[in-house]
Structure 1
Amino acid sequence: MQSYIQYRNIGHVLRQQFDSDCEKTIPSADESTTVSLVGLPEAATETEKTVASGQVMGNSEQSSELSTTGYAFNAVQGREKMTLDGQKQQVFIVDWDGEYDPANPHNFSTFRRVTATLIVAIIAFVVGMASSIDSAVLPQAAADLRVSEVAESLATGIYLIGYGVGALFAGPFSETLGRNIVYIATLAMFSIFIMASALAPNFASQVVFRFLAGFFGSTPLVCAGGSIADMWDPLEKTYGFPIFAVAGFGGPVLGPVVSSYIGAPWRWAEWISLITSGVVLTLVVLFQPETYAPLILKWKARHLRQITGDARFKAESEVKHTAFWTRIKIALSRPFAMALEPIIILMALYLTVLYIVLFTFLDGYTFIFADVYGISHGLADVIFVAMFVGMVLASALVLPLYRLTKRDLEKVLATGGSHIEPEIRLWFAMLGGSISIPISLFWMGWTDFASISIWSPIIASTMFGYGVICVFLSAYMYIIDSYEVYAASALAFVTLLRYASAGGMTVVGIPFYKNLGTHKTLTILACISSVLVPSPYVLYKWGYRIRQHSKHAVTRK
């Protein structure tokens, strides 16, 4: 609905401009064509009018008169392109109508951009919540479906694997059809398969439906970064991206809390996911605008063709058209080609370790809290709130890091540059984020005794939540800024690796904690994460040199 209104508004504005241009034209040398004088003062000289018309049409080598319509529009430039039969054809490239074109998502009001970002964040929250919501009712589901608890944990693991696989496809679809239609279509399919999971008559069908639900629920993992980049400039992303990240990470953490006291009718865990996804789908349809700039420019070009009857009006993406299946082929191959990038390897490994720890907690909290302190399983799942509190506390870094980024950008602009260096994004992880993770795991592992207050491991889990969100923010924003046009492929590989690994570890989580015990298990995880603590500092120091030797990363110094 919102996209349709947006589409109609663009057409209305262009129609008004066209009608206005009809009243503000002068004869050209040919007299069969005229050019727009919108924005010129009434007293403009003939020379000024000639210059203005040349600016609208582009340089004389590339442009010709708009002979079909007799009128020129702002932000339209002439260009020649080669047809399939080798002939030259003139097209008129449609672009934004100046720096402050209201159709450009970067020029949406702050309220509209925040609202659109929050809706994307809520989508991420719902599909993330569905990944872990089954873990709180695992014993009941296992008993009802007549499988072991280890086998039933595959319902969570296979969902995560579906997440990773689906991420490979979400990017090219959103870059061809636009963000909004992909959000709507995949969220609708996600809802269908969540409903199928709730109605599954046996374990096999539940696993299949959960995989498909994860596959279609993966859209925010890839598209959300693009949606945020569509609306927020590099400086604004310092506070725009955390809005998404806290909600996106909050989903898996709060999933067990939502279903902690469902009990025997375990299928209500899936019904809750279905209800919330239905509400979010309604929000997307009614209120989410389209933010993908190439699609909006295609809308403008389509309106101009309809208004003028001239088929030569084209958006840049229509001139440089890449077949959809070619995009799919690239999307499936390029992420693996980027697997040799040192930055990608390091960040993928870091996030994979974090996700393994996070999702083994879905099984581990029962051993850490319920078994040691004698509390109920439901209350043990509620303790996940402490981890979410740590994630929210990381928001305190946004304002000082925004000021730091702004100061860095001002220095770059003063020296003639135009972009901040990606290494500035590593400050989230460097300000205690990376070191917090092993400290919290050691703390939790070696204070998890009945003789020590339960608040000790609870506070440790809060510290872990703080560290996880800080590393996630740094990793995602650093990859996006380092690889720009290749960021979707880089994130697709990182997403596939971390979710496939986390999905596998979810299944072995119960034996892991049961056989080794909480102290040794958490110590092993803490030692592994300790090895990765220097990563953000290493990249901050030598990241530019690493990018210099990369085939895909950007360098601007």
Structure 2
Amino acid sequence: MQSYIQYRKIGRVLRQQFDTDHEKTIPLTDESRTVSSAGLPEAAIETEKAAASSQVMGNRVTSYAFNAVQVREKTMLDGQMQQVFIVDWDGERDPANPFNFSTIRRVTATLIVAAVAFVVGMASSIDSAVLSQASADLEVSEVAETLATGIYLIGYSAGALFAGPFSETFGRNMVYIATLAVFSIFIMASALAQNFALQMVFRFLAGFFGSTPLVCAGGSIADMWDPLEKTYGFPIYAIASFGGPVLGPVFSSYVGAPWRWAEWISLITSGVVLTIVVLFLPETYAPLILKWKASHLRQITGDARFKAELEATHTAFWTRMRIALSRPFVMALEPIIILMALYLTVLYIVLFTFLDGYTFIFADVYGISGRLADVIFVAMFVGMLLASALVHPLLRLTKKHMEKVLETGGSHIEPEIRLWFAILGGSISIPISLFWMGWTDFVSISIWSPIIASTVFGYGVICVFISAYMYIIDSYEVYAASALAFVTLLRYASAGGMTVVGISFYKNLGTHRTLTVLACISAVLVPSPYVLYKWGYLIRQHSKHAVTRK
């Protein structure tokens, strides 16, 4: 609905602009096909030079009804050359450009995208609070039932490969709506599944279609926020969306006997979010908006030569799909991608193994109910919220960095500046919190000790996630979607497997040893953001796809 209103508004503005300026037309003769710029606004002079032979109507040419049109020669299928008029933004302040949306509108759109990520993230972990009920009803072991989470995450990893090219063809909005609707259908099917096999199939498909925000959300943020603004724009999304997998068990902790209500909760929540997306989320993919603009211009003028860049350089959808499916694996050879994929994969293995252990850490040691142990997940989310305190000081730091870049003749922020979230305690907080919890998880020590440790863990996880994603996006720019697709594929496939073996770790090694092992694994990766901050530019110099600006 919102994107349709947006589409109609663009057409209405162009029609008004054309009707207002229609009388300012200049005779176009065969002898003279130049247009004088006398009396025209300065912004239109360059347009007139380019558009002198553009839109012909009754042997007259519109003087400056449409400012941002570039004339280009294009080879047609029959080998003939034809002029096309490439439609661009109407100046730097074009209100149709998502960068020029009001701050409130951009924040709202970011939170809506975060809500989509929250819903699909919540569905990944919501079944973990009803393992015993579900396993008893479906007549499988609790270890087998953990596949409800594991297979969902594996579906995530597979679906991430397809989300990018679809969003670049149909736009962000349509992909969010379509995939969230199909996701809801398979969540409902999971709730109605009468046996374990059907539950696994439907959970995988729900994860497959729920993977869209994992790849497209970064694009949506980049659509609306410039490099400086992303310093606070992306954390808004990350902190809000990361609450999904953390708070999922909280929402289902008191479901009780009809375990299927865990899925119904996911379905109800996704229905609410889907309604919000349909009604309030604008389209932010610039090439599609320009395609809308070109379509309106063709209708208004009757001239089929108005094209958007997306149309003028049209590549078959299946060709883009083939490239999109192969490029993530090409990106796997990039040094930065290897390091970041390893870092995030280990982090997600630690995270989902850690999530498996809440019952062992709190219920078994302190004698509280499993349901109350699931509620303690809130402490981890509190830690994520604390990371927002870094946004303002890092925004000031980024501004100073940008000023230095501009003074030296540069124009873009160096990607390494994005690593400050991880550097400022993010990476070190993860092993510290795990050691802390592992060595103080005794009945003789207050339960508040492991609770506070989980808060520190939440802070560390979100800081590393923000740094890793923003660093990859800024390092690879046009290839960022492919880079993120590979990282997503690897980390969720690995995390999906760990959800099955995690419970066995806690049962066989105990909470103290399991948490210590996880702490040691995460400690090995603590130097990663510091190494990249110091030598990241040198690493990017040896990359085929990463940007280098110094």
Residue segments in structure 1 that go unaligned for 5+ positions in a row: 36-44
Structure 1 segment 62-461 matched on structure 2, within 5 A: 64-68=53-57, 70-72=61-63, 73-461=66-454
CA distance in 2, matches of 1:12, 1:34: 29
Gap change, CA 1:58 and 1:524, over 3 Å in 2:
farther
Is the contact made by 2:24 and 2:62 (CA closer than 8 Å) also made in structure 1? Answer: no
In the other structure, the counterpart of 2:537 is 544
Root-mean-square deviation (CA, aligned residues, Å) is 1.6
SS of the counterpart of 1:80? strand
Moved more, 19-28 or 502-511: 19-28
Cα distance in 1 for partners of 2:111, 2:477 equals 23
Mind listing any 5+ residue stretches in structure 2 that lack a counterpart? none
Q: Do the aligned partners of residues 46 and 422 (structure 1) sit closer, same or farther apart at CA in structure 2, a change above 3 Å counting?
A: closer
What displacement does 1:67 show? 2.5
- State how far apart, in whole Å, the 2-side matches of 1:313 and 1:476 are: 37
Separation in 2 of the partners of 1:50 and 1:380?
67
- What amino acid is the match of 1:190? F
Asked if the contact 2:437–2:515 (Cα under 8 Å) also holds between the matched residues in 1, the reply is yes
After superposition, the Cα gap between the structure-2 partners of 1:58 and 1:378, relative to the gap in structure 1 and judged at 3 Å, is: farther
1:494-505 alignment, distance < 5 Å? 494-505=487-498
Find the aligned partners of 2:17 and 2:545 in 1 and give their Cα distance: 41
Give yes or no for contact 1:125–1:247 (8 Å, CA) kept in 2.
yes
Is the contact made by 1:26 and 1:34 (CA closer than 8 Å) also made in structure 2? no
Q: Secondary structure of 2:62's partner? A: coil
Provide the secondary structure at the position in 2 that maps to 1:165: helix
In structure 2, distance between residues paired with 1:436 and 1:46: 62
Aligned-partner Cα distance in 2 for 1:220–1:52: 38
Q: Displacement of 1:283 after TM fit?
A: 0.2
- Give 1:417 deviation, angstroms: 1.0
Match for residue 38 of structure 1?
none
CA drift of 1:25 comes to: 2.7
TM-superposed CA distance for 1:274, in Å, is 0.2
Q: Does 1:23 align with 2:23?
A: yes
d(CA) in 2 for partners of 1:366, 1:547: 43
Relative distance call for 1:65 and 1:525 in structure 2 (3 A) is closer
2:332 match: secondary structure: helix
* Contact preservation (8 Å) 2:381, 2:458: yes
Cα distance in 2 for partners of 1:52, 1:389 equals 50
Measured after TM superposition, the shift of residue 406 of structure 1 is 0.7
Identity %: 85
Q: Deviations over 1:318-348 (max 9, x none)?
A: 1111111111111111001111111111111
Q: Tell me how far apart the structure 1 counterparts of residues 46 and 245 of structure 2 sit (CA, whole Å).
A: 53
TM-score after normalising by structure 2: 0.97
Q: CA deviation at 1:21?
A: 1.6
Cα displacement string for residues 376-415 of structure 1 (whole angstroms, at most 9, x for unaligned residues): 0000101100100000000000000000001111111122
Distance in 2 separating the partners of 1:357 and 1:203: 27
The amino acid across from 2:7 in the alignment is Y
SS at the partner of 2:72?
strand
Secondary structure of 1:340's counterpart equals coil
Deviation at 1:27, TM superposition (A): 3.5
Change (3 A) 1:329 1:22: same
Contact 1:34 1:71 in 2 (8 A): no
* CA deviation string 1:467-503 (max 9, x = no partner): 0000000000000000000000000000010000000
Residues 57 and 76, structure 1, Cα contact 8 Å, conserved in 2: no
> Partner amino acid for 2:445?
I
Aligned to 1:507: 500
Aligned-partner residue type, residue 296 of structure 1: I
SS of corresponding position for 1:163: helix
Q: Is the 8 A contact 2:34 2:53 kept in 1?
A: no
